[in-house]
């Protein structure tokens, strides 16, 4: 009965109720959509980094991150790679030979990381092959093919089929040179990555080094992303002497941003609800003032003050939930549309590339967020109703009836 009465009381002043409902609707919609954009951008940055070069798990020799010397390779790396591929939960794994060196063209030179790969295996753990804008992904039969980033190509003033020279230390510490022909130019979402990395085939690296196959890094993709930590632990149980890390351990700053995005999202929406709280309180106070004589009569004929308190709270909750439902519904529709079609940010793509974000943004919001939002709305409504309800329950019936 109280719920029905509270609902009718909301619509006694339709204009006032509609104004606060619209305020809640558009306030929540703005908060939800903005949060979805933040989450979508962060998800994009994480997925892009994983697909570009991080992969889910990486394996190195102990302390490789402190000393990336060419001689600091994984002992029996090929055998380790084959064993990792058969580990439970592993979808794919690829070995990389990584050497710090210099790439030079007739007009310029630049320090880079030379990454030796087996193209067929690398395709299974990264998506660099999909980023090739000019040329092919090692499909040429040219001798010593090389794949470089567009940013680096511009810096070196080279193009497809141009010749560049790589120089680096061999296993004996001597400087070695290799002349390569550019067979492809790639462009990822990170201009810094494009500028600092070049790809060659492992067989060419091993031939120049005059050594047996050596692996500095093994990139691993998990079958299920939620099981990354489990897969990492399985590999650690096999090779406790190696440095085995998940992407969160390799890129802690990215993991931190990913984790804190959710916190910032709730804070942002909380601030919006806090601002709306004053509007709801004001609306409910006006509603109580308009009905002081009526409330005085109800108290005079024996209605318990606790029921009046509950009725005012219910009015506030129903008013807030109506606006909240509309805001969340519009938010779901908007996020669903742009989550499928995407938001084109090509106009600011250069800025986005500086921190590895894509120019197409797909807003996304976890289902748990909608449940949490509903709870937050109810809490805000209850807080907003405290002052109006307190005022209503502290009316003196004789004074309320005579005064109004």
Q: What is the pLDDT of residues 344-373, one digit of tens each?
A: 777 666 666 555 566 678 888 888 888 888
Whole-number pLDDT of residue 149: 94
The fraction of the chain above a pLDDT of 70, given in percent, is 96
pLDDT beyond 90 at 91 = yes
Whole-number pLDDT of residue 355: 57
How far is residue 129's CA from residue 139's CA, in Å, rounded to a whole number? Answer: 11
The fraction of the chain above a pLDDT of 90, given in percent, is 39
Residues 6+ apart with CB under 8 A from 274: 380
Average pLDDT over residues 174-192: 90
Whole-number pLDDT of residue 274: 87
pLDDT beyond 60 at 177 = yes
Largest CA distance in the chain: 104
CB atoms inside a 10 Å sphere around CB 43: 16
Residue 370 contacts residue 332 (beta carbons within 8 Å): yes
49 band by pLDDT with thresholds 50, 70 and 90:
confident
- Going by the DSSP 8-state scheme, the letter that residue 53 receives in this structure is I
Dig out the tokens for 190 from the structure: 């990170």
Whole-number pLDDT of residue 84: 93
Whole-number pLDDT of residue 100: 93
The three-class DSSP label of residue 280 is helix
Segment 281-305, tens digit of pLDDT: 888 888 888 888 888 888 788 888 8
Whole-number pLDDT of residue 349: 62
pLDDT, averaged across the chain: 87
Q: What is the dihedral of CA 165, 169, 171, 177, to 10 degrees?
A: 20
Phi, psi of 65, rounded to the nearest 5 degrees: -65, -20
């Amino acid at each position: 009965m109280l719920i029905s009465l509270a609902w009718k009381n909301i619509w006694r002043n339709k204009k006032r109720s509609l104004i606060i409902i619209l305020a809640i609707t558009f306030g929540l919609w703005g908060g939800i959509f903005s949060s979805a954009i933040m989450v979508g951008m962060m998800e994009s940055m994480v997925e892009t980094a994983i697909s570009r070069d991080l992969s889910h798990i990486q394996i190195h020799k102990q302390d490789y991150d402190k000393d990336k010397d060419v001689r600091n390779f994984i002992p029996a790396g090929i055998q380790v790679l084959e064993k990792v591929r058969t580990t439970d939960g592993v979808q794919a794994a690829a070995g990389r030979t990584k050497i710090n060196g210099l790439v030079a063209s007739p007009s310029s030179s630049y320090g880079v990381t030379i990454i030796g790969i087996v193209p067929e295996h690398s395709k299974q753990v990264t998506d660099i092959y999909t980023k090739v804008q000019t040329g092919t992904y090692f499909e040429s039969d040219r001798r010593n093919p090389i794949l470089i980033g567009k940013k680096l190509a511009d810096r070196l003033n080279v193009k497809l089929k141009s010749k560049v020279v790589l120089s680096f230390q061999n296993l004996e510490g001597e400087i070695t040179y290799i002349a390569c022909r550019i067979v492809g130019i790639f462009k990822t979402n990170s201009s810094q990555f494009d500028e600092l990395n070049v790809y060659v085939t492992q067989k060419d690296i091993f031939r120049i080094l005059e050594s047996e196959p050596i692996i500095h890094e093994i990139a691993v993709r998990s079958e299920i992303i939620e099981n990354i930590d489990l897969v990492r632990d399985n590999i650690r149980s096999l090779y406790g002497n190696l440095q085995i890390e998940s992407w969160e351990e390799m890129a802690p700053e990215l993991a931190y941003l990913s984790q804190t995005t959710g916190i910032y999202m709730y804070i942002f929406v909380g601030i919006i609800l806090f601002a709306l709280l004053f509007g709801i309180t004001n609306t409910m106070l006006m509603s109580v003032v308009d009905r002081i004589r009526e409330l005085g009569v109800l108290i005079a004929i024996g209605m318990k003050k606790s029921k009046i308190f509950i009725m005012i709270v219910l009015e506030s909750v129903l008013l807030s939930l109506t606006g909240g439902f509309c805001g969340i519904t519009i938010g779901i529709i908007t996020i669903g549309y742009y989550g499928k079609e995407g938001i084109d940010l090509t106009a600011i793509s250069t800025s986005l590339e500086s921190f590895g974000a894509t120019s197409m943004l797909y807003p996304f919001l976890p289902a748990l967020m909608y449940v949490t939002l509903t709870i937050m709305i109810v809490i805000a409504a209850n807080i907003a109703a405290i002052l109006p309800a307190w005022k209503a329950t502290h009316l003196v019936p004789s004074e309320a009836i005579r005064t109004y």
